[in-house]
Structure 1
């Protein structure tokens, strides 16, 4: 096991020295003479009580030297275009922050460290193991999951096995950590053993909490999150990115690398803000890349990781105008020999033109050294990655636009209007952390399904779904709200995916009616809007057909009816 130590960032006149946190929170800079023996890859826990934060870091093996700044009359050092105050002749080590945690308000060291030098809790010549174990237990009250937690568990075991430590009647607990068999040792009411939920149960809890949105994404990776402003729609997307970011290279300290938030602007009248555009200067055609295309290219690099694109306040501009290409391309997805194909955002002809005209084209795309992706884009164009998920947050007020049926037919709509005003007033429950157990890509990314195969593989479910849909469509006859095969297919696929989550030999079909209730909201009611003449009889007919069999849809229809009676106009959107 590599060297592990603790450093304390203390307050005082110069609070951020001798351990300095970078402005973006990605690095900590430490004076080399303040550390115990270290080497590249060693792990260091930094505890900063005056900021109530703790950091789990890794030594990068990179040294920085200070220099004198005449304008500031200070010794400084530079890193990634930022300047920091330092001391004369200091040599600083760069630590990469792998995780960051809040320190509980009542937390304290059992025995103070006593200085700001490195305090080793494990190395090959460790002494006083009982004291080191106390520090490990203290840190376990801060780092309760993730890589830091796992390292502390191993460290605890190693210290407990040393002959000098006083642990009478030590008991062994056989468990698993990340699928790896592990034995932990402890003493009742003394040694802390974290009570871990078994992997399978934990995974089921996560799936159950996010089941509707996960199955909606698996059915169609384009979801609209509707709800009042400030309820946490974009936060939910970021949370899901954390819970699916199982690639270490993408686990940035400030955000998951599989997440991108793009704020929609009211003046987006075409797709150039997303797809990019060309300019011509000095006779050379140059393509101007966008954050959207960069994110798509990045998703192609990590095809086994779900990539979440959040279009914030999506309907500030008309979606069918600036998002027209995506709305068409998502319907062209097809699989052949386990490879997904689609129409291209940027055609192969344009890729060839841009790469021939502009010598820096591949460099601007970040692909100067990635020949395989260059060849793929030259052959097929930049197409939709199989792991791309687009989530649009939606507010409905006087500044936003309504959705056309073209958009709603291609999206899954989930309403978020339940508000708990007590939430977040106690200790913070920040879900923006990398979890112990990740939601796998297989749980989330579904291949475009052959609906005939879906129906024939589950004929009992298929017949029940079709029967309910026929009754609902009867209430929509001679209206613009009748639905056709796309809605039918997606309902069958959604219900089939949910069927795979049910216990074997289950006889109750309550889960199926829950799924149908959810899909009626997502795919049918979301399309209904208009005045009394257009919607009055439709809503009455649906209330009669649906009754209380689908409680959420029934409640929504009553809300829409109330709005129609009072305002003379109604819609699904609040």
Structure 2
């Protein structure tokens, strides 16, 4: 596949100059004309790639809007694809179903769109042949039935809006179900009806959204509708019953058995990261295994370390691998002071319906509700800059719900006015979805807050460092990661939700790992810093996952768990921590090569080494913590 064109918020900013403008195109300065041509060229390139990449039985062709309609500048450009069947050479696209991407001052819209049914540009002979085909399309839309509509509808909501008119920057729901939209689109009034997704400037500003990748994902999503309507209405006049099956991409593969092979999953994701220009240091494969094993151990993961070290990029690329429509980045704000930042609240300013108040739904809650309604697929919520606010204040309800499995999520339903409410007669709360994974990124500076042990106990914490040898001259900015296969994605979810996986698939040397972890506990207990049952259980589960991912060494698993679960809990004064850290450092050495009493505080981790290090990651981190302790009389895991 050719390289995908890139789009940014600057494109929208530039088009704002010509919003409601009547300026002639030839009056625009040369550099402005060049930029507008470039926008149109990029859109056309994306549409051609999408048409060539279409996997269904139909032949698709691309289109792009005029550079200067009526010789005047415009603030809106679009491009897309539609079906090209025998005889369509004389049919205007205005009489077709289209999938388009629109760029406008407010942002981008991706829309599955029923043509207007009229064209000022098309000659009369084109229109004469088009109208019967449009009638056939309307008939096919009207006769699509509900065998699998609910499945695709779960995928569409809440990010796709059922609209009466597309190419409109006002995102609001005008139909509550896909069935209602299909009925409207099949009617004579349904010209320009659309199913639309909006990507605002704010999402583009932080480079978290790849418009081109999302458009190609939309091609996959709406491919079954194209196949059903044109494969049935145009060719033989009767729509198929299993209308989502022809492409075999969106829902036909849902019954494919999950691949419960964690090593294959890790290898596939590691390869995808390399191809996306994101390499996790000299131990790339091992780091990927630790990342995936951590998420399958516990659905909450913290990524901490140096700003610009790749934390958010790794989380985003894993979202790509899971499926770009099942990842959401939510920047944490300093004013998040309570659970309503994630779970919303009753909005008394909105009208009541059926005795139920409307609910203010933040994007994180909307995403969690979508995960709850689509339990067969994994969803990834990324909380960016998680410690800009006190985590315990806004995240306590979430942590409690994940730990206790008690209902905590508002059980909301979207009404036909586009507002969410708790429906009368239903349970007001839902359990936290088992298919929801949360990754929080953390930077440490004077504007952020440290985590408490009760938060760190409930997560694996991966520390990111950029080593000198990792700085490469040929570095390229990371791009999208190729998605995993359906079998692998479902396998990842199946392993993650299997509470007995570590019991049924223990690590080959699980007893040796447990013995080492007990020694660590004994060292910490001497200084009143010990961990509890939860850490021991989750560390044991991690060792099984790490072994299943292909890393059988129990000392490597223990090294990771000291780094992920033990050291992040340690912060405080020199008097409190120095003896414990020195004893832990001694435990990191090879006892067969160096005679050391790990319980002795006489060992100095900063002195020259007399033998090999058995757990290098933990030992290196302890050295840094001890060095900071002696310089500042205080240390913490986060630097």
What's the CA shift for 1:298?
Answer: 0.6
Q: Give the match for residue 378 of structure 2.
A: 306
- Greater shift in the superposed pair: 379-388 or 402-411: 379-388
Distance 1:561 1:303, change over 3 A: same
Unaligned runs of 5+ in 2: 1-56, 102-109, 121-164, 171-190, 198-212, 221-247, 250-263, 274-284, 590-612
What's the CA shift for 1:447?
Answer: 5.2
- 1:135-534 counterparts in 2 under 5 A? 202=268, 205=271, 208=285, 210-245=288-323, 256-280=324-348, 286-291=357-362, 292-333=364-405, 342-346=406-410, 364-365=419-420, 378-379=426-427, 381-418=429-466, 420-422=470-472, 425-426=475-476, 429-431=478-480, 434=483, 439-444=488-493, 446=495, 454-455=502-503, 458=506, 461-502=509-550, 509-510=552-553, 512-534=554-576
What's the CA shift for 1:37?
Answer: 5.3
Q: TM-score normalized by structure 1?
A: 0.60
What's the CA shift for 1:459?
Answer: 7.9
SS, match of residue 457 in structure 2 = helix
Residue by residue, what CA displacement relative to the aligned partner does 1:306-361 show, whole Å, maximum 9, x if unpaired? 1111111111111111111111111113xxxxxxxx33234x7xx7xxx9xxx969
Q: TM-score normalized by structure 2?
A: 0.54
Check conservation: 1:273, 1:290, Cα contact below 8 A: no
SS, match of residue 367 in structure 2 = helix
What's the CA shift for 1:454?
Answer: 3.8
- Greater shift in the superposed pair: 308-317 or 232-241: 232-241
SS, match of residue 2 in structure 1 = coil
Q: Does 1:536 align with 2:578?
A: yes
C-alpha distance in structure 2 between counterparts of 1:200 and 1:217, whole Å:
12
Unaligned runs of 5+ in 1: 47-56, 68-76, 83-91, 99-141, 150-176, 179-197, 246-255, 334-341, 369-373, 503-507
Number of aligned pairs? 419
Structure with bigger strand share is: 1
Distance 1:329 1:58, change over 3 A: closer
Q: Give the match for residue 60 of structure 2.
A: 4
Distance 1:202 1:14, change over 3 A: farther
User: Over aligned residues, Cα RMSD in angstroms?
Assistant: 5.1
Q: Give the match for residue 204 of structure 2.
A: none
Check conservation: 2:502, 2:541, Cα contact below 8 A: yes
Distance 1:434 1:148, change over 3 A: farther
Structure with bigger helix share is: 2
C-alpha distance in structure 1 between counterparts of 2:455 and 2:441, whole Å:
14
What's the CA shift for 1:467?
Answer: 0.6
Q: Give the match for residue 173 of structure 1.
A: none
C-alpha distance in structure 2 between counterparts of 1:18 and 1:478, whole Å:
73
Check conservation: 2:347, 2:358, Cα contact below 8 A: yes
